[in-house]
Amino acid sequence: AICVYPLLVEEIRLKLNVPGVSLAAVGAGFPSSQTFLAVKIAECGMLVKKGADEVDVVLSVGRFLAGEYLEVLNELILIREATTGAKLKVILETGLLKSASNIRLASLIAMEAGADFIKTSTGKIPVAATPEAVNVMAKAIRDFYALTGKAVGLKAAGGIVTVEDAVSYYFLINQLLGEEWLNHNRFRIGASRLANNLLSNILAEEVHYF
């Protein structure tokens, strides 16, 4: 997917004509989620109407850390309803959640609310994706799948730069979730700098597209 800001969705929708590439957009007060619920719902709904195939939103980390778990769940349920017809990716901002138990609970809340993907981070804070966080998220996905039969995707994003980093996440997902997760519908890596490095390795020359 190519991910853009809300105001660019309509224009990119007119120009994007690449088979297999989806149009994603960030919404709901990205990147901090610090706006009114009515605004979050309206923005997400507009993104879908303008042509977004996927919508990325950030979990309300402040409310989560305050222990307002039901409120966080209800907010995501309403956002899920507003984005009917599009993939919903919920960014947990794992670098702010601190503990493995918080990351697991946030993962389960997002999945229970109907997220199609759970995502590590926005890349806007110092601590982004880490193998430790992805490990916890993948195990939560595995347990949720065992209980519900719903396969939720995982996106590792933020600070993944080298080919070695990408390979380590690939093998981690393979180990914890299996080969059936190793496709773009269930596992993704988000990092523009990584794309340059991957292409440079494949083509054996310096590539600077992003």
User: Which residues are annotated as catalytic?
Assistant: 56, 119, 155
Distance (Å, rounded) from C-alpha 5 to C-alpha 14? 15
Q: Please name the residue that has the structure tokens 């180990």.
A: 175
Measured between alpha carbons, how far is 53 from 55 in angstroms, rounded to an integer?
7
Question: How are strands ordered across the β-sheet holding 2-4?
Answer: 2-4, 23-26, 54-58, 87-91, 117-119, 153-157, 187-190
Handedness of CA 72, 144, 176, 84 (dihedral sign): negative
CA 150/CA 30 separation, integer angstroms:
27
Helix orientation angle between 37-50 and 69-82, rounded to the nearest 10 degrees = 30
CA 48 to chain centre: 17
Q: What distances in angstroms separate CA 87 from CA 48, 53, 102, 106, 198, one per listed residue?
A: 10, 6, 24, 18, 26
